[in-house]
Amino acid sequence: MNPSAHIEAVYAQVCRRNAGETEFHQAVGEVLHTLAPALQAHPEYVDALIPERLCEPERQLIFRVPWVDDAGRVQVNRGFRVEFSSALGPYKGGLRFHPSVNLGIVKFLGFEQIFKNALTGLAIGGGKGGSDFDPKGRSDNEVMRFCQAFMTELYRHLGEHTDVPAGDIGVGGREIGYLFGQYKRITNRFEAGVLTGKGVSWGGSQARTEATGYGAVYFAQEMLATRGHGLDGRKAVVSGSGNVALYAIEKVHALGGSVVACSDSSGYVVDADGIDLELLKTVKEVRRARLSAYAEAKPTARFSERGSVFEVSCDIALPCATQNELGGQEAGVLVKNGVLAVAEGANMPCTPEAIEVFREAGVLFGPGKAANAGGVATSALEMQQNASRDVWTFEQTETRLAAVMRGVHTQCRTTAEMYGGTPDDYVLGANIAGFLRVAEAMTAQGVV
């Protein structure tokens, strides 16, 4: 069977065995349909069924999470952890608390995590988890009780050498603290390396909060440099206003660019003077308000409930919110407005149609598994510090982060040139480079 036919057979099998999990199908298809050159060069991976084995998680956990709200009512949520691949190290990937979370979402995220983690060059496998619990509008005590109930089931599957979760949408420092406290209480061990994203005062890493947003901007900067451009004087648009978006904005400004628009689930705000980051942090992190509050406080800003933030003219677009937020229509508008580069700060925020629009237009496009690898890379650096009982400065950690992102960028370009003769095809480069590293480890470890 030739590689292309083998890939189609594997993809058909994945869709059949995972019915209804559209995001998972999308993530698998996006990777598989770029692997033909790698499989042509390495037929031994076809013989060993590496693609089939990679698409099947090593373990899928689904569990009930009962807890009691402030009114004394019993609530029941569903918890997930998909331990996808441990070929390169312990399972590593975040926990997402959001009403949209289901098994298909977690599997898509976990599958992407395999390749993202491989690209960092660090010893971490791929996994993901979460719950359909919504922390919005819940009190601190309710969030604590939910996290304790969630960890009471999940703890038996975790360990610094087994599975190391982190945060994601809806899971920040507060939630990680509650989860870690319950893990410590149950196990009677201060096993610092079992969770990352911890508070800096009790085992966390400097620059972890900033890492995903910073990393996406570093990757965009590296892409622009291949065409003789930089961020200085460039206008950028960032979707989202959560952790990733906030620190992407911060790093764009630090490198001389100006972020003129950002968004949340209620709409988007445009500020021609450049987003005031301190005001935005106050609105989103202190007041936990909608973006309209930013426009009310800033005379130069306007808020819109309709349309897309990607309608705003820019040189660089950084989608940092959620999956499939940027479609073909929005991509067409960005191209028409002269966008130079798009770097995914979120996981799979661009639809296949949008990616095709960018590729046809010659826009530099950094896929999430490469562009947002900075977060998990810094989580792995946090694990290193925990293992050695060491503490690094912010500057030390950021220097390592920048080096990792440069390495990811170089790896993507080199691999794309080698297997496709197209160094600007970061999708091809990221997928094949990640696949080859994992495939080599899987082959060495036998059929397990």
List residues with catalytic annotation: 128
- The sign of the torsion formed by the CA atoms of 345, 350, 352, 358 equals negative
The tokens 């869709």 sit on which residue?
15
In one-letter notation, the amino acid at residue 262 is C
SS (H, E, C) 324-383: CCECHHHHHHHHHCCCCEEECCCCCCECHHHHHHHHHHCCEEECHHHHCCHHHHHHHHHH
Kindly list the distances between the CA atom of residue 32 and the CA atoms of 9, 54, 112, 404, 429, in Å, as whole numbers in the listed order: 10, 10, 12, 25, 13
In degrees, rounded to 5, the angle at the alpha carbon of residue 344 between the alpha carbons of residues 342 and 347 is 155
What b/e readout covers 379-395, taking b as 16+ CB neighbours within 10 angstroms?
A: bbbbbbbbeeeeebeee
Q: How far is CA 232 from the centre of its chain?
A: 26
- The sign of the torsion formed by the CA atoms of 13, 129, 109, 387 equals negative
Taking the C-alpha atoms of residue 97 and residue 108, their distance in angstroms, rounded to an integer, is 15
Nearest-CA neighbor of 425 among 437, 412, 410, 407? 412
**Residues 6+ positions from 284 with CB-CB distance below 8 Å:** 241, 242, 246, 264, 291
Taking the C-alpha atoms of residue 398 and residue 280, their distance in angstroms, rounded to an integer, is 23
- The sign of the torsion formed by the CA atoms of 32, 33, 38, 42 equals positive
* CB distance 355 to 427 below 8 Å: yes
Taking the C-alpha atoms of residue 305 and residue 309, their distance in angstroms, rounded to an integer, is 10
Pinpoint the alpha helices (H) of 18-161: 22-32, 36-41, 43-47, 50-54, 103-119, 140-154
What b/e readout covers 32-45, taking b as 16+ CB neighbours within 10 angstroms?
A: bbbbbbbbeebeeb
DSSP label at 397? Answer: H
* CB distance 417 to 427 below 8 Å: no
